Amino acid sequence: MTNTKTNTGLSTEEAKRRQQQYGKNELAPPKKENFLKKILHILCEPMFLLLIVAAVIYFILGEPRDGAIMLIFVIGIISIDVVQEWKTDKTLNALKDLSAPHVTVLRDGTEQQIPSADLVPGDLMMLYEGVKIPADGSVIRCADLCVDESSLTGEAEGVWKISTEHAEPTGDYWRKDYCYAGTLVTQGTAAVVVDKIGAQTEYGKIGIGVATAPQEDTPLQKQTGKLVKTCAIIAAALFLLVGIFTWFNIADHAFHERIVESILSGVTLAMAMIPEEFPVILTVFLSMGAWRLAKKNSLVRKLPSVETLGAVSVLCVDKTGTITMNQMTMQEIWIASGTEEALIETMGLGCETEAYDPMEKAMLRYCEEHGFTKESLFANEFVTEYAFTNNLKMMGHVWRKDGQLVIAAKGSPERILTICSLTDEERTATEKQINYLSSEGLRVIAIATAYPENDGVIPASITDCHLTLLGLVGLADPPRESVKNDITVCNRAGIRVVMITGDNGITASAIAKKIGIPSSDRIITGEALEAMSDEELRQAVKKVSIFSRVIPEHKMRIVKAFKENGEIVAMTGDGVNDAPALKYADIGIAMGKRGSEVSREAADLILMDDNFTTIVETVKDGRRIYDNIRKAVGYVFTIHIPIAFASLLAPFLGIPPMALLLLPLHVVLLEVIIDPTCSIVLERQPAEADIMDRNPRNPKEKLLTKKLLIKSILQGLVIFAVSFGAYFITFSNEPGNAEIARSMGLSIIMLANLFLVQVNSSDHDFVFRSMIRLSKDKVMWAVNLGTLVLLGVILNTPLSGYLKLAPLSVTQSLMVLGLAAISVLWYELVKLMKKLQKD
Ligand code: ADP
Ligand code: MG
């Protein structure tokens, strides 16, 4: 491999060829799940076991036709499930790909972002601060490159790298001119030629990270798991009860028939009672939710975050870039000593030659406008630099200009002033000016200089310098336009917005005031925070929403204080040092644009557009998804009640088994419409109008609250009473014609199902409003029409004979429609009463 300085990377074709030769840059190839295994898995669900038992019984009963129909349904439901699961998998994989690590490489002579998995040996990759190195390779160019290799060597101290050109063979195992996969760039930049990928890397050899953590169930999944179990146990008990009752009911039948009939009625009930939709609801709702969020620029990295999102009560956000546009412009300039030219030139000399910080870009632009081009500024001889750190909040460069050494320093005024010699009057005047500029919402930067005699007296660190203050500059970074509105939304939604910034408190406060953060005059500075005990901080965060002059390490304590107060905290971060706080927060939010790879890896959510508005939208969607899960769970309860009760009650009323309202066949038929109602219709429900007008939900609250349970049971009981009543009355009038009676009861349940979705779309909006809201959704119409067509077909075609149903007369049809409507719409009265009570 040629590692010359003129390396321009690979061509796309060459990269393709090498990928075929070397494979993907992955530690272990992703496992493909066996299709048969998946089907087997579905077949082992209790619901399917029951279905199959029922089918077998039909065959034993000598009714192979019924058995066959059952099996067709079983296959139908399995297909729905397989398709559903396949879709979910596809969604989740697409999400994974989107949030997979990327790396910048030089291909075809231009810089490109590619998935790290597509790296091949010979690729030229660009590294910079915050990158997690994806492959092993030699350093061919680097500047200030410091790498944290603790994941490999256990050595906490960063390693300063050099380029291969400057390296002498040392014989050490860990080379200084080589970068290793799995390690982390903490400073500097480099160009590295990839040498080894995937399992060939040192990291791959050790085998860390190969064993991926098993996917853990989310809290909701655990909750519903328990719920399903409880229902299954109850179903088992009732299975026995109903079986035994049926046994005594049909004493006149032959022994063989008695056994089979008893088991069958028990199986029907069990089938009717197991809410096997619950787990489906969760996976589908969460993954579809994540998918919808991805389309809106918000990538969910961990599925459970979707459910946590809706409970967020505190939003800690960085000021620069998230709340503001990160587009700085020079606004004010104040001279302390010397000339304006000197100040401007020093400011320029204090910037990075390859500035990427928007503030420095603004400064250099300003220099340009005042006659100091970059070329002229940086034509001088660069001697050394004092690097910017979050702790120091200042930086400097030392240049040799026309043979004279010059220190050009800039940074936060508080810090720069500590290394400047000023008289008391000068200091007071400066401080007054700092206050004035800050209160305008400007970021204030102090510029200072010194002229060392010779190279020997250049101070080793910036804090040892004695500088002359040249003056102050004020830079504006306007808040994003939509932020003010978003803050209003958050205030109404009971979500506290907390601003965290490395900037000065007065500036932060001025901006907070502009955008409407409540109590914007209360500020905690990094210094004050350090002096506080955990308990004091906990009390303080109850009232204060602005943290100024903080360093990333403080963020951890801030999150902790909020969490200990019982809040659900979302926090943004972009730097390497933000990772621990992001991990600790309930929802860690990394920035897709300016964030580091490390922060992205620690985050639950990646914000593709770095925009505050997207965070608020995401929280809103989180609330909507949780709402819909609750609606769906309530729905499943409700709709199973008429089915279960019909099976439960029949033997007690002495109805002969063949004349039951719902034979196993019909239970399965109902499942066929219940399934899509849950996973398609309810998943798509739009957010309710007041979704951001209520406080965050209590995170400890159970999914199935008492209120929801009572409502669901009541609704279910009414539908049961109406459908079973219609069936029973018709049957009593015409005992010989169970088909008609059954058709009436079944139609009522199917139609009630449609009304139910509309009525329960909101707990307080009346149904006509929901209908207007839902009418825009084509899928909704498709499902509604589908149900009606299905009903028409099973009643009015020859199919009805197979399904033991019969066509209804017009009068009967209208009656069925009316009864179905009544059985659900009564709930509108409850809404009305609630409304009247409130007013
Ligand atoms: P923020 O939270 O607003 O992003 P930073 O942590 O980036 O704040 O910066 C904190 C402070 O450090 C700034 O207010 C400024 O005083 C100082 N500072 C930031 N970048 C530079 C720089 N390139 N040169 C000099 N000072 C800087
Ligand atoms: Mg910053």
pLDDT tens readout for residues 597-623: 888 888 999 999 989 999 999 999 999
CATH architecture of the domain 329-476 equals 3-Layer(aba) Sandwich (3.40)
Cβ(417) – ligand 1 distance below 6 Å: no
d(C-alpha 607, C-alpha 610), whole Å: 5
Residues with CB under 5 A from ligand 2 (ion): 320
Q: Is residue 214's pLDDT more than 80?
A: no
The reply to whether 318 belongs to the active site is yes
- 526 vs 255, more confident: 526
pLDDT tens readout for residues 758-775: 999 888 889 888 888 888
Mutate to test the pocket of ligand 1, among 359, 391, 498, 553 (most ligand atoms within 8 A of CB): 359
Cβ(360) – ligand 1 distance below 6 Å: yes
Averaged over 792-804, what is the pLDDT? 91
Distance 320 CA to ligand 2 centre (A): 6
Cβ(135) – ligand 1 distance below 6 Å: no
Residue 415 Cα: closest atom of ligand 1: 16
Exposure string for 401-430, b = 16+ CB within 10 A, e = fewer: eeeebbbbbbbbbbbbbebbebeeeeeeeb
Distance 502 CA to ligand 1 centre (A): 6
pLDDT tens readout for residues 185-194: 988 889 999 9
Kindly list the distances between the CA atom of residue 342 and the CA atoms of 372, 379, 413, 759, in Å, as whole numbers in the listed order.
11, 17, 18, 73
Give percent of the chain with pLDDT exceeding 90.
Answer: 53
Q: Is residue 587's pLDDT more than 70?
A: yes
Catalytic pick among 123, 148, 177, 318: 318
d(C-alpha 544, C-alpha 550), whole Å: 14
Q: Is residue 276's pLDDT more than 90?
A: no
For ligand 1, atom 13: residue with the closest CA: 503
Please tell me the predicted confidence (pLDDT) of residue 540: 95
Please tell me the predicted confidence (pLDDT) of residue 179: 94
Nearest ligand by distance to the CA of 317: 1
Averaged over 685-692, what is the pLDDT? 92
**pTM for this structure?**
0.85
Mutate to test the pocket of ligand 1, among 318, 349, 385, 388 (most ligand atoms within 8 A of CB): 388
pLDDT tens readout for residues 46-88: 667 777 787 887 787 777 887 888 788 778 777 877 787 788 7
DSSP characters for 772-832? HHHTT-HHHHHHHHHHHHHHHHHHHSTHHHHTT--PPPHHHHHHHHHHHHHHHHTHHHHHH
Cβ(443) – ligand 1 distance below 6 Å: yes
CATH topology of domain 217-292+618-838: Calcium-transporting ATPase, transmembrane domain (1.20.1110)
Q: Are 143 and 188 in contact (CB under 8 A)?
A: yes
d(C-alpha 398, C-alpha 402), whole Å: 13
- 668 vs 687, more confident: 687
For ligand 1, atom 6: residue with the closest CA: 502
Averaged over 365-386, what is the pLDDT? 93
Q: Which CATH number fits domain 298-324+480-610: 3.30.70.860, 3.50.50.60, 2.20.25.240, 3.40.50.1000?
A: 3.40.50.1000
Please tell me the predicted confidence (pLDDT) of residue 351: 93
Q: What is the 3-state secondary structure (H, E, C) of 245-265?
A: HHHHHCCCCCHHHHHHHHHHH
Cβ(502) – ligand 1 distance below 6 Å: yes
Token duo for residue 17? 């060829």
Averaged over 685-698, what is the pLDDT? 92
Q: What is the mean pLDDT of the chain?
A: 88
For ligand 1, atom 27: residue with the closest CA: 411
Please tell me the predicted confidence (pLDDT) of residue 213: 45
Domain residue limits, the chain? 217-292+618-838, 298-324+480-610, 329-476
d(C-alpha 327, C-alpha 334), whole Å: 21
Distance 319 CA to ligand 2 centre (A): 8
Cβ(395) – ligand 1 distance below 6 Å: yes
